Each structure stands twice: as C-alpha cells, then as structure tokens.
Amino acid sequence: MMARRLALFAAGLALVAATFSWAGPRAAFLVAIGLGFGLVLEGLRFGFAGPWRRIVTERDARGLVAQLLAIGATAAIALPLLAAAPGELAGAHAPVGVGMILGAFIFGMAMQVVLGCGSGTLVNAGSGNLVGLVALVGFIAGSFAGTLHLGFWTGLGTLPVITFQGMLGDHGGLVLTLAALGLVGYAAIRHAAPGKRLPPLRLWVAAGLIAALAVLNLIVAGQPWGIVYGLGLWGAKIAEIGVADLAATAYWTSPANAERLSASILTDTTSLTNIGLIVGAFLAMRWRRLPDAPPAALTLPSWAFVLIAGLVLGYTARMAFGCNVGAFFSGISTGSLHGWVWFAAAFGGSLLGLRLRGLVLVPLATTTARGAA
Amino acid sequence: MNAQGSPTRPLVGFAALLLVLGIVALDALQAEPVDPFAVPPPVALGSGQAPSGAHCSGG
C-alpha cells in the first residue's frame, strides 16, 4: 500500500516536472493547480450535481452550502484582486441572453442525467466511472460543436455584460455578491431537514481548498477557473485532424481562439487545469485502500443516452458561456450577473433532469430481471 | 471486469488517462512546438501582461 502511494505521489510530481520542461513554469503551476482540484473534488467528495439533487430529493443542504461557502471565499479575494490589477487579471464576465439562459437550463437537466457537471464529468472519468468517461467523449464533441453555432445563439438577444462591481463599485459589488450568496444559503438551510443543514468538517475543508485553488488559478493564469473552453479546444484540434476547415468559422478565427488553435494544448490555461484535474481524480481514486465499486452496467440504449447527454452538456455549456465552473462558480465569484442567471436557469433544468434520470438510465440488471420475470 | 460485468474503476480511470495522453500526443504532432524562450511569466499577477482571453466566458 505504501509503495503504491509513493508511486502515485511520484507520478503527480513527474507530471508537473514534465509539463515544466515542455511548456514552462506557468504551465507547470496550472497543471499542479488542476491536480489539486482533482484531488480535492474526488478525495473529499466535493461536487456540484449531487448536492443540487440532494437539496431537492432529500432536503439535504450541506453540499450546496459548501459550494456557496467556496464561491464566497473566492469572491472575497478575487474581487479585490480584479480591482487592483485590471490589466493583468480578468473575471469570468459574459452577457445574459436568450441562448445563454436556454443553454444553462438544458445543461442543468443533462447534468442530472449523467450525475456529472463540467468538473464532475472530468472527476468521474478520472476516478474510473465509465458513465463519466463516455460522457466526457460526448462533452468534448459537444463543446466543439457549440463553438460553431455560438453566433446564432448570441444573435437571439443578448444584454451587455453586467457585473455587480460595474453597478455598485468594487466594494459594493463584493458586498452584494456575499449578501446574495448568504441569502441563497439561508434559504437552503431553512428548507433543509434537521441534521442536514450545515456542512460537515470534510466539506468545510474542501470548500476552503477549492477557494484557495480558484484564487491561485486567477493569480497564475490571469483568468478564473474554467473547464469547457479547454474541452472545446480539444474537440477543435481533433476535428482539424479530420476534415474540418475551421478557418471559415467565426469563433475559431477570432484572434484569441485562433492563437490557441495553432499553439500547443500545453499553452492553454483551461486545458492544463483539465488535464491536472483528471489525473488528480485518478490519483485520489488509486490512493484509497479499495476503490469504490464501479457503477452498474447499463443497457445499450442507456449508454447511447449517456453519450448524447455528454454531447448536450458540452454544447449547452458553450451556449451558456460556461458550465458549473466557468459560469456558476467563476462567474459569481468574479461579480458577473450571468453567473447568477446561469444558477437559476440550471437549477430549474436540474429539477426536470431528476425526473428524466430514472427513465433514461436503466441498469442492465433491471432489464435482465424484467426478462426473467 | 468485476462479477457484474462492469470494468473496474482503475481500468476505466486508466482509459481516461490514455484518452488525455492521446489528445496531447495528437496535438504535439500538428501544433506549433512551445518555444521555451517565449513562454509567459510564471504568474500573471504582476507580469504586466493582459490575460489571453481564451476562457469559457468569452465569445
């Protein structure tokens, strides 16, 4: 056991060292931060989709309150940093629009079907959940496909970018963000059943570590933690190897995206943290004395639904200017109104997704039993 | 495989790592190699450089 854990530790260090030698110190820092995200999310069981399900089905607010704590702690440091260094750091600021709201709603629905959001899909895949791995393949394809149609969705009607600090000033924006987080947390705690209101120590620690890593991400990368951009880039690079001519697309010819497309993946911020996150989740899973049991085998149509749900997750995350990380976590913690609208729309979609999950994911054992009966 | 016919978690996790490795390897064959003398400063804060703008929230 000790030998295996030493080997896992050495593997993590080797990944960071290899990235350093290949792409320089910033890339190595970002892979290390991604490793940290993966270790915390998988090792301390900090998630997004599961707590949204439990607040509805079990009146359990502990996971959701931990999310709000992590976002609030990040905002308390990130917003002053953004104000102090506007030329070097940027928030996750995006416009609210018809396509954005629709995308967030459908994303929330799909994330309950596969029980994995943006970060959750990466964690699930890395920690050996086959549903997560199949969904990840769909997510990559979907987030690339979403880049091809983003102009259409934003053309349906989009407000200007609105931030709390833009409305109320730097200090007022932070106060409003923390007050709104507190209000949602209070409502969740009031709704929760006794004994399921405040997070256990494990989730307090996880929330603190996630906030620390998110702030480090902002300081090192100059932009907040994100997921979906990197996956869309991976899809674009795979498509280019095939037959796609991305020189004719509006999204991939914009200067920032064209530069990322021609450069190595190891120069892209979100790709680096995504790689670290998947590897970190794998290391956390292997660190345990006994890995968790794998999820139940599904029927063939259910696997097809998982792939489609992954595709939908990726596509709608692109429509919505981010997933639970890029829009919900990083949008809210850097003062963007679109983060709050994403939260409301995705939570509404999540309620519908909870009803759909049992209908589309059918364990193989259930159908076998039905056949035998 | 376990008794229920599902692949074990270590096996699936390893497959996820292979997927990532495959993407990085394919990219290395076609993308411009990283110039070690043109990499960005270790930390954006204090670098004097604007962020790349390649983020989920960007259009």
Q: Where are the domains of chain A?
A: 2-372
Q: Which residues contact A307 (CB under 8 A, 6 or more apart)?
A: A134, A135, A137, A138
Q: Which residues contact A130 (CB under 8 A, 6 or more apart)?
A: A294, A295, B6, B7, B12
* B18 CA: distance to closest CA in chain A (Å): 10
The span from the CA of A168 to the CA of A170, in Å, is 7
Residue positions counted in chain B: 59
Q: What ipTM describes this predicted complex? A: 0.95
Chain A residues whose CB is inside 8 A of the B14 CB are 128, 282
The span from the CA of B55 to the CA of A224, in Å, is 8
pLDDT value for A76: 98
* pLDDT, tens only, B11-36: 999 999 999 999 999 999 999 899 98
pLDDT value for A64: 98
Please, are residues A63 and A196 in contact by the beta-carbon 8 Å criterion?
Answer: no
pLDDT band of residue B41 (cuts 50, 70, 90) is: very high
Sign of CA dihedral A272, A275, A277, A280: negative
The span from the CA of B35 to the CA of A321, in Å, is 31
Please, are residues A365 and A296 in contact by the beta-carbon 8 Å criterion?
Answer: yes
The minimal CB distance from A294 to the residues B9, B52, B59 is found for: B9
The span from the CA of A326 to the CA of A2, in Å, is 37
pLDDT value for B31: 93
Residue-wise DSSP of A33-88 = HHHHHHHHHHHTT--SHHHHHHHHHS---HHHHHHHHHHHHHHHHHHHHHHH-TTT
Q: Which residues contact A189 (CB under 8 A, 6 or more apart)?
A: A61, A65, A197, A198
The minimal CB distance from A264 to the residues B13, B27, B46 is found for: B27
Neighbouring CB atoms inside 10 A of A352's CB total 14
Question: Which residue stretches of chain A are H helix?
Answer: 2-23, 25-43, 49-57, 62-84, 98-113, 118-126, 130-154, 164-191, 201-221, 228-241, 250-253, 255-262, 269-287, 300-319, 330-333, 337-360, 364-372
The span from the CA of B52 to the CA of A341, in Å, is 25
> Residue B16 and residue A317: Cβ atoms within 8 Å?
no
Chain A residues whose CB is inside 8 A of the B3 CB are none
Per-residue tokens: A15: 């990944």
Please report which helix (H) or strand (E) contains residue B15, including its range. helix B9-30
pLDDT value for A366: 58
The minimal CB distance from A321 to the residues B2, B53, B57 is found for: B57
pLDDT value for A268: 97
- Which residues of B, range 29-48, sit inside 8 Å of A by Cβ? 30-34, 36, 39-48
**Could you say which residues of chain A have pLDDT below 50?**
369-373
Chain B residues whose CB is inside 8 A of the A327 CB are 56-57
pLDDT value for A372: 40
> Residue A297 and residue B6: Cβ atoms within 8 Å?
yes
pLDDT value for A371: 42
Q: Which of A118, A34, A47, A42 is nearest to A283 (CA)?
A: A42
pLDDT value for B6: 77
pLDDT value for B4: 62
In a 10 Å sphere around its CB, with 0-12 CB exposed, 13-18 middle and 19+ buried, how is residue B58 labelled?
Answer: buried
Cβ–Cβ contact A133 with B under 8 A: yes
